[in-house]
């Protein structure tokens, strides 16, 4: 038996009450009737280390999965918060717009049946453009792109009026004036916020002296991603 083995046996004999095997040359002086030390199997150590490594890998995989899940949950929460904030901003813009939105209506003056514009809204109407439109249509830039009546009107203050030279039907002795001839009148204007609005007015076919229908619409504000499109007013 080597010197190292005898030293180990001596330590076990001191601390674990384990005695050296019978040996005539034992420097530790162990009796011949000592128990033998159990031999540790190297393969068992490797197996135990492999198990520990697998457990650590499983724990690491669990921690990584949990981290990814929490990161995704936090990202979703942040996106939801941004969407809600954008919706609140959009609602605030709509409330502000409603407080200063113009609304231009048309009144028929008699005689000689010329059309008068009246701003019944809460804010000034800017850069007014008058053009004929198809009966029953909604306001659109396409009508002003096709044809306009005379020079643009700079603005009509809230509660203000402006007289136009437009007639609904031809009038004797009034050649050269703009005439609708059964068409509707579109008034395109801009609010203080820069939003484009339209008023389209239909007149009766018989005389053209009676307003049959007035329709209002405006540019649709861009909708935030993930927000309810119905919140965007027309």
Query: What mean pLDDT is reported for the chain?
Result: 79
Count, residues in the chain: 234
Q: What pLDDT score does 151 carry?
A: 76
How far is Cα of residue 103 from the mean position of the Cα atoms in its chain?
29
- Among 24-28, 172-176, 190-194, top mean pLDDT goes to 190-194
Helices (H), the chain: 3-15, 42-100, 141-146
Higher pLDDT, 191 or 151: 191
Task: Quote the longest CA-to-CA distance of the chain.
Answer: 148
124-128, 160-164, 220-224, range with the lowest pLDDT: 220-224
Q: What pLDDT score does 7 carry?
A: 53
Block residue for tokens 């809230």: 158
136 pLDDT more than 80: yes
Q: What pLDDT score does 33 carry?
A: 43
Of 136, 228, 230, 130, nearest in space to 182 by CA: 136
Of 190, 199, 188, nearest in space to 106 by CA: 199
Question: 118: exposed, middle or buried (C-beta count within 10 Å: 0-12, 13-18, 19+)?
Answer: middle
Q: What pLDDT score does 230 carry?
A: 42
233 pLDDT more than 50: no
Average pLDDT over residues 150-170: 90
Higher pLDDT, 80 or 15: 80
Higher pLDDT, 217 or 206: 217
Q: What pLDDT score does 18 carry?
A: 45
**Preceding peptide of 112 cis, ω within 30°:** yes
If DSSP codes are grouped into helix, strand and coil, which group holds residue 170? Answer: coil
Average pLDDT over residues 209-214: 91
Tell me the three-class secondary structure of 163-195, residue by residue. Answer: EEEEECCCCCCCCCCCECCCCEEEEEEECCCCC
Give the residue extent of every domain in the chain: 101-221
Average pLDDT over residues 218-229: 56
Average pLDDT over residues 17-23: 47
178 vs 96: CA distance, rounded Å: 36
35-93 pLDDT per residue, tens: 444 455 678 888 888 898 989 999 999 999 999 999 998 999 988 888 888 888 777 77
229 pLDDT more than 90: no
136 vs 202: CA distance, rounded Å: 7
């Amino acid at each position: 038996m080597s010197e190292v083995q005898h030293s180990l046996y001596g330590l076990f004999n001191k601390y674990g009450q384990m005695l050296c095997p019978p040996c005539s040359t034992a420097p530790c002086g162990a009796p011949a009737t000592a128990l033998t030390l159990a031999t540790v199997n190297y393969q068992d150590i490797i197996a135990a280390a492999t198990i520990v490594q697998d457990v650590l890998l499983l724990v690491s995989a669990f921690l990584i999965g949990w981290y990814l899940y929490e990161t995704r949950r936090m990202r979703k929460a942040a996106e939801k918060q941004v969407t809600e904030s954008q919706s609140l901003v959009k609602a605030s813009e709509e409330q502000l717009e409603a407080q200063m939105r113009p609304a231009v209506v048309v009144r028929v003056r008699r005689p000689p049946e010329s059309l008068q514009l009246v701003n019944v809204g809460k804010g000034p109407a800017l850069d007014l453009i008058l053009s004929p439109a198809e009966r029953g249509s909604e306001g659109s830039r396409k009508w002003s792109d096709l044809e306009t009546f005379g020079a643009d009107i700079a603005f009509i203050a809230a509660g203000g009026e402006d007289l136009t030279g437009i007639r609904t039907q031809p009038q004797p002795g009034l050649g050269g004036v703009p005439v609708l001839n059964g068409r509707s009148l579109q008034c395109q204007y801009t609010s203080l916020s820069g939003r484009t609005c339209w008023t389209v007015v239909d007149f009766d076919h018989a005389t053209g002296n009676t307003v049959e229908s007035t329709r209002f619409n405006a540019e649709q504000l861009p909708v935030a991603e993930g927000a309810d499109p119905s919140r965007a007013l027309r």
